[in-house]
Structure 1
Amino acid sequence: MSETAFQAELKYQTAISIAKNLRSQGLLTEEEYGVIDTKLQAEFKPSLGTLLSENDLIN
């Protein structure tokens, strides 16, 4: 994995961790979380994050 890809993955994982925490506290709805996850994936293009995503990108 290149340094650029690693940094993108790290930034995505950090941001999605914050979003998951907010969702678990009831501060984000499932819909809001899905929107955030989709936007983060589009911005950072994580290689592993896409595989681990809870967001169904097929539908």
Structure 2
Amino acid sequence: MFHVYDDKLVSVELVSAQVRITQPSEIALYLKAFEQLRSMAIYGADARALTLRAIEALS
């Protein structure tokens, strides 16, 4: 998992450590990845419907 704090710091959680990214070129990679994930996310009623379908599939 990674956390984007701003355009100066990204924190990456590994199994055994936490890495702080401060290089602008590396931060840009995480910002791009974050934007890609954000564009795929669903919210509100769509997220609720997906969650309910997943729960039903487990029953």
TM-score bracket, shorter-length normalisation:
0.3 to 0.5
Normalising by the residue count of structure 2, what TM-score does the alignment of the two structures yield? Answer: 0.34
Is the strand fraction higher in 1 or 2? 2
Q: Greater relative contact order: 1 or 2 (C-alpha under 8 angstroms, separation 6 or more)?
A: 1
